Amino acid sequence: MSLDALQDKIYIRVGGALCLDFCNTVGWRLRDVTYELMGTPVRLIGWAWQTGVLSDEEAEAALAEAAQRSEAAEMACTEAAAFRETLFRILLARSEGRPAAPADTAALNRRLAEAAALRRLVPASAAADADATAGPAYRWAWAPLADAAGQESRRPGPAGAAAAAGPALRLAAWAQRILAAVAVSAAELLTAPEPPPVRMCGGEGCGWLFLDETRNRKRRWCSMSDCGNRAKQRRHYAKKAHEAGESS
Ligand SMILES: [Zn+2]
């Protein structure tokens, strides 16, 4: 499977932060019937590739591994969807100015602990002619997927009854990376000293989250061309109906 497969669905990114875009991978979240945008391993890898979490080479490797280990790939989708709901609850609480549920914060902290094991400091610039004293000397990078997979397989197996039941299915290295990147994005947003407010789209049933980076902090819609436009049309028809009622 080639990178072309990853464009099967083009993700609309209106969140303003990776963690919010991740929450927005389900459509019509507040309706009875939601629209899953990320329900297959290829879609999940496609999202990560389109958002830059996985490079071209990493996305190709992830596709190959997902095809080879389909059970682990399906588990990645299940874990991603569960983590998405955890994050949604945390970020919705943030948008409403209330604390998140302790169980949700604990789940995010578990992902952050896994993310810490995958992060590496690397020299910020390889350019020899750059002024060595300007800017940070190091930056954060992710451990190569192959390293992450190796590290995982070297981990001692589960003890006792779990061991007797056979080794637990481990989360694929590419999926660990995706969830780690999203968790770090959420932590950065939640610890920012003066972040733009997190808002939920005012569109009926939409439920998408975004950072309100407008100057007057009055952004209401995930997208003007989508929910914003629908609301405008509704107001238009309501006005027409009202006028028709008055004239009759
Ligand atoms: Zn919307």
What is the CA(126)–ligand 1 centre distance, in A?
A: 42
SS3 of 141, please?
strand
**Domain-embedded: residue 99:** yes
In which domain, by residue range, is 14 found? 3-109+172-247
Q: Using CA atoms, how far apart are residues 110 and 79, in angstroms rounded to an integer?
A: 13
Mean pLDDT score, 215-244: 84
Please report where in the chains the tokens 């002619």 appear, as a residue. Answer: 129
- % of the chain residues with pLDDT over 70: 87
Q: By the 8 A CB rule, do 34 and 28 touch?
A: yes
State the pLDDT at residue 156.
47
Q: Which residues surround ligand 1, an ion (CB under 5 A)?
A: 201, 203, 206, 208, 222, 227
- Residue 128 falls within a domain, yes or no? no
% pLDDT > 90, the chain: 70
Query: What pLDDT sits at residue 247?
Result: 63
User: Helices 56-68 and 173-191 sit at what angle, rounded to 10 degrees?
Assistant: 130
**Average per-residue pLDDT for the chain:** 88
Report if residue 117 sits inside a domain: no
Assign residue 220 the CATH number of its domain.
Answer: 1.10.3300
Whether 22 is covered by a domain: the verdict is yes
Question: How much is the pLDDT for 174?
Answer: 97
Domain presence at residue 141:
no
Lowest-pLDDT choice from 88-92, 99-103, 164-168: 164-168
139: tokens are 């930056």
Residue 231 alpha carbon to ligand 1 centre in Å? 10
Ligand 1 center to 159 CA (angstroms)? 47
The segment with the largest mean pLDDT, out of 3-17, 39-53, 222-236, is 39-53
The model's pLDDT over 44-67, given as tens digits with 9 standing for 90+, comes to: 999 999 999 999 999 999 999 999
pLDDT at 167 over 70: no
Query: What is the CA(124)–ligand 1 centre distance, in A?
Result: 38
Distance CA 3, CA 6 (A): 5
Q: Is residue 150 part of a domain?
A: no
Residue 127 lies in a domain: no
The answer to whether the beta carbons of residues 114 and 179 sit under 8 Å apart is yes
Given pLDDT bands bounded at 50, 70 and 90, which one contains residue 133? low
Give pLDDT, residue 222.
95
Ligand 1 midpoint to CA 11 (Å): 14
Q: Is residue 166 over pLDDT 60?
A: no
List b or e across 126-149, with b for residues whose CB sees 16 or more CB atoms inside 10 angstroms. eeeeeeeeeeeeeeeebbbbeebb
Q: How far is the CA of 143 from the centre of ligand 1 (A)?
A: 36
Asked if 2 and 57 count as a contact pair (C-beta separation under 8 A), the reply is no
- State in Å: Cα 8 to ligand 1 middle: 22
pLDDT for res 153: 47
The answer to whether residue 137 sits within a structural domain is no
For the chain, the domain total comes to: 1
State in Å: Cα 229 to ligand 1 middle: 10
The number of CA neighbours under 13 Å toward the Cβ of 212 is 15
pLDDT(20) > 90:
yes
Query: For residue 101, is pLDDT > 70?
Result: yes
Q: pLDDT at residue 164 above 50?
A: no
Helix (H, G, I), strand (E, B) or coil at 14: coil
Query: From the CA of 47, how far away is ligand 1's center (Å)?
Result: 19
